[in-house]
Amino acid sequence: MPARPLIVAAVAALVAATGTGVAVAAEPAPGTDLARPGHHGTPTKAEIRRLFTTWNAALATGDPERVDDLYADDAVLLPTLAPGVHDTSAERIGYFEHFLANDPSGSVDEGVVRVLGKDVATYSGLYTFTFAATGDVVHARFTFVYERDHGGWEIVEHHSSLVPGE
């Protein structure tokens, strides 16, 4: 597994290169194909794209703790609809309590996966959230940085921001 300083450098380089400032890494829910203990090879782009599906399914549960379980303990969340840096479990759960109250469902409109090594990958692009409780639709940019730890994936950085002019 790569050292944390290497991941931080990779994230900084990615953010500088893309200008989106979004990064995330997610550990799959138990029972998903990405949680296989023996799966330690270089991930495919399809595997990394499925991590968003896992995250979106966690949103659908309405349980902020289940969503937070996909993040590393020290993960950084820069959320779409709130100010501040959320770098503790309590802060992330607090954000997701508010976010999930509107029954969101996300879909990726356009995304690019970059596999940076066998244990690090990024997924950046544009996604749309539809909020069933209000009917609102939000278009945002995203970057997830994922790190594989103990055979599973965790979100280590997640940045999401509204699309300018939307």
Give the mean pLDDT of the chain: 84
Asked if the model's pLDDT at residue 28 lies above 60, the reply is: no
Q: What is the pLDDT of residue 16?
A: 38
Give pLDDT, residue 29: 47
Q: CB atoms < 10 A from the CB of 47, how many?
A: 19
Place of tokens 């999930």: 100
Find, among 65, 63, 97, 62, the residue nearest to 79 by Cα: 97
User: Higher confidence at residue 30 or residue 45?
Assistant: 45
Average pLDDT over residues 118-139: 97
Distance CA 129, CA 142 (A): 12
Find the range with the poorest average confidence among 34-38, 104-108, 128-132. 34-38
Higher pLDDT, 100 or 24: 100
Domains and CATH numbers, the chain: 4-162 (3.10.450.50)
Residue 36 has pLDDT above 60, yes or no: no
Closest CA to 131 of 65, 81, 71, 69: 81
pLDDT at 78 (0 to 100): 98
The predicted pLDDT at position 123 comes to: 99
| Confidence (pLDDT) at 39 | 59
